Amino acid sequence: MFKSIRLSLLAGCISIACQANAAPAGDLPLMPWPQQVTRPAAEGSLVLDNAVAIKISGDKLEGATERWRERIAQQTGWQLQPAQANPSNPTIDIHINKAVSPLPRLDSDESYELSVTADGVKLTANTRFGAMRGMETLLQLIQNGPQNTSIPFVAIKDTPRFPWRGMLLDSARHFVPIEDILRQLDGMASAKFNVFHWHLTDDQGWRFSSTKYPKLQQLASDGQFYTQAQMKEVVRYATKLGIRVVPEMDLPGHASAIAVAYPELMSAPGPYQMERHWGVLKPLLNPANEATYKFVDTLIGELTAIFPDAYLHIGGDEVDDAHWKESASIQAFMKQHNIADTHALQTYFNQRLEKILEKHHRQMMGWDEIYHPDLPKSILIQSWQGQDALGTVAANGYKGILSTGFYLDQPQSTAYHYRNEILPQGLGGIDQITPADSAQSWFFTMPRLKGKPVEGSFTLVNNKNGWRGFIDFEGKSRRAVRDIEWLNAHQVTFTVDTWMGETRPVVTVDQDKLSGYFLVGNVRYPASGQKLDNVPEGVQPVVPTPEQMDNILGGEAALWAENVSSPLLDIKLWPRAFAVAERLWSTEEVKDIDNMYQRLQAIDAWSTISVGLRQHTAAVQQMTRLAGTPDILPLQILAQAVEPAQYYTRQHLKFQAGNYHHFEPLNRFADALGAESIQVRSMDSWVDKLIADPEDGTSAESLRHTFARWQSNTPDVLALIDGNYQLKGLKPVAESVDKLAGIGLRLTDLVARQGTLSGDEREGIQKQLDDAAQTQDEVVIAAVYPLQKLLRASTR
């Protein structure tokens, strides 16, 4: 495909297809990036005014014209002239080739072609769904420039890479009001997501109203649940946006809420109370009780009357089988039916569920744990366990989607999510040791704040071409590592993306002993270990054949709500979710991280104005509450230097403190922050440029300005901290940022004039950086890491 496109577009175009693996054109703020973008050699633009008119032909998109006109008015600030019923010369001419059912399906055609010329905008799509996706692209192209409001001349041909591009919202752990759900649907549509996965039940709450089993909402929801009318409203709204709604009712585990309402259906007698703590809990439905299946059948009937999608998610994850093992009647049932173990018992339960779903004309969807060869291949597996689990599913003929690496409740860098390729990848022979190679392998153990330590080994290989390496985590397949750098004769660092996030060991290997830390996201976890005599065997990644890869339908971002309440929803989701959307929509070759961040910044602004997302408004509200004054600038400046502790560090700290429960307030400074500091990312770039060229005055001045601003901010932010007990834990953070700013000024000057530090001064600064890198009040001073680069550059 790329060869033929190149041949047709050689005449001065700017297009992703013009050269293999080319980055998207930076001046077009599009996300997800389309499959094919062509810019004419003679640049130009279509100038708009408030007489903009929209015409739709070929299908009736009820309310779409009004909705899109309102979006244009929001983006431009104009009062648009009254809409014409059927404009003869529309500014935006939308033609749909075929009228189809408004209900989106897995196989809905979402392709479109968009052309902007001096004659106007032509948007052509085979169905309404393509027209909707194309209009989001067009709205992103509307630019308020120095001279006017315009749309650049462009030709776009676009279709999604994957048909399943979903987002999971957890309404069970923290209830999400309907208005917030509808706003997230607007955001999803703007990012071209097409599945809303609605997690409605869990241990801590039952959130949908049942007419047949009313005690569920009466006893197990704290009065926070959705009426059937409200759920139908969500389905109607999503349908208008071309989004499917897949409800999830978690069975047979995560069932504490069911246990409160109907204990007679459980595997242990109870009594049960509302569960307030997070975690994997014991209550399980009783698979040996026929009343259980009547209960499930009735609820599925109620759900299918509300949610028309072909799929219904039954959960099936994290089943603690203790109650099954302890029940004499269940053990007798297993013996009677020749059920070998509790895994087989869950499969028996799922087989019964699958028949019930089939009766209601629905297909089963569930998490990794439901996968079993005794279930039909019509089921769909959602993987939280990773590409190996997904690859196994696909290789055995089952359909699957990926969520590992797309958990947006974890504060992770956007780049980490963006690098997360859907299709399983092989190692390409990187772990094959030849006679020309010199290899060393090291065992490591990394204790965590909760759960067992992470253990494994890594191997570094050297030859005349340089260093390469791979890592073997216990119970996982082998992964290639990147960016190997020896910091000195005995200290090495490298990077690898793991299920925990971006992971960067910084370890000293000396006299067969390993010490140091693993940087997981932005949090340091101590590590120790020893040298191995031989390179471990390792487990190869599971990579299906090209034909089997077709069984992988896409993926879903997930926002679990242990640490997320509705006022924080937009902060946690946006704009990072646009990067996940691009990974699901755009070609695999679109993966330049710097370009992604450039476009993401524009999309961040666009989504707040055009779509109405509240990531910035919500952050201002949280900081205003903490500051007690509208003058929140000191907190905003402090936020430039820090990030929330990444991975599940915050949850694990709460667990250690006994605060891992529903009533733990999400009111800290950390809760008001986005997942990463864009200012620190910019600083990291300035530092790289300055080290590469010490005479780069622009980068040096940018660093000096930032550090000076942080220093001058210290008295103001400390005054705010002293005024609110909820900010008290930030005082050492603010004081450390002040000290680091002074260090930053000193090191910037040293690197700029190519000076060096004495050994004692270097050691003193290193200790201050190490102390400042520790998690405090659930935040991390991320500015430590560009300063660490400056320190190394000034001591070589």
Residue positions annotated with a catalytic role: 318
Q: Which of 732, 635, 637, 748 is nearest to 687 (CA)?
A: 748
Element housing 618 (H / E)? helix 615-627
Report yes or no: 17 and 6 within 8 Å, Cβ to Cβ.
yes
Q: Phi/psi of residue 700, each to 5°?
A: -60, -40
Helix ranges (DSSP H) in 421-557: 546-549
**DSSP element (H, E) containing 311:** strand 311-315
Tokens 């390409």 correspond to what residue? Answer: 428
User: Do 441 and 501 meet the contact criterion of CB atoms below 8 Å apart?
Assistant: no
3-state percent breakdown (helix, strand, coil) of the chain, nearest 5 = 40, 20, 40
Nearest to 121 by CA among 210, 197, 55: 55
Closest to 204 (Cα-Cα) out of 296, 307, 283 = 283
Q: Are 389 and 383 in contact (CB under 8 A)?
A: yes
Paired sense of beta strands 205-206 and 363-367, if any: unpaired
Phi, psi of 172 (to 5 degrees): -85, -45
Beta-bridge partner residues of 441: 459, 532
Non-local CB neighbours of 242 within 8 Å, separated by 6+ positions:
104, 108, 110, 128, 129, 132, 133, 189, 194
For residues 369-383, b (16+ Cβ closer than 10 Å) or e, as one string?
bbbeeebeeebbbbb
Give CA–CA dist 740/769, Å, rounded: 8
Q: What is the DSSP secondary-structure string of 351-399? A: HHHHHHHHHTT-EEEEEGGG--TTS-TT-EEEESS-HHHHHHHHHTT-E
d(CA 383, CA 390): 6
- What residue has token string 């990067």? 579
Which residues, at least 6 apart from 704, have a Cβ–Cβ distance to it below 8 Å?
745, 748
CA–CA dist 659, 149 (Å, integer): 51
3 state DSSP class of 44: coil
Q: Could you tell me the two tokens for 623?
A: 């900081």
Crossing angle of helices 759-772 and 784-793, in 10° steps, is 170
Partners of residue 443 on adjacent β-strands? 457, 530
Tokens of 296: 């499930």
Measured between alpha carbons, how far is 437 from 470 in angstroms, rounded to an integer? 14
DSSP states of 563-617: T--GGGHHHHHTTHHHHHHHHHHS-TT---HHHHHHHHHHHHHHIIIII---HHH
Tell me how crowded residue 550 is: count the other CB atoms within 10 A of its CB.
11
Q: Are 421 and 590 in contact (CB under 8 A)?
A: no
Q: 315-340 in b/e burial notation, b at 16+ Cβ within 10 A?
A: bbbebbbebbeebeebbebbeeeebe
**Are 174 and 566 a contacting pair, CB within 8 Å?**
yes
